Amino acid sequence: MTSTKSEAARKWGVRIHVLCYVVLNVVQVLVWWIFDSDNHFWPIWSIAAWGIGLIFHIWGVSRPLRTG
């Protein structure tokens, strides 16, 4: 992968992605807990699916850049 972004910018992108993942999934769990806790734990689907995307983002940033 070649990129013109600096290493610091790439790491900030991951940090923002992780922050959004945590905050928004906590909100989903709270909504489930307040309104629907007697039923199936439906936030697991977005937690898992988004988690897969987050893992690939972290993996892509942690790999060394190919130059040339």
Query: Are the C-beta atoms of 65 and 54 separated by less than 8 Å?
Result: no
Q: Which domain holds residue 15?
A: 10-62
pTM: 0.81
Answer yes or no: is 40 within a domain: yes
Asked whether the predicted pLDDT for residue 67 surpasses 80, the reply is no
Answer yes or no: is 20 within a domain: yes
The count of structural domains within the chain is 1
pLDDT per position as a tens digit, 4-61: 678 888 899 999 999 999 999 999 999 999 999 999 999 999 999 999 999 999 999 9
At 16 the pLDDT is 97
CA atoms within 13 A on the CB side of 6: 3
Q: Give me the helix-helix angle, 43-62 and 7-36, nearest 10°.
A: 170
At 54 the pLDDT is 97
Answer yes or no: is 4 within a domain: no
Answer yes or no: is 5 within a domain: no
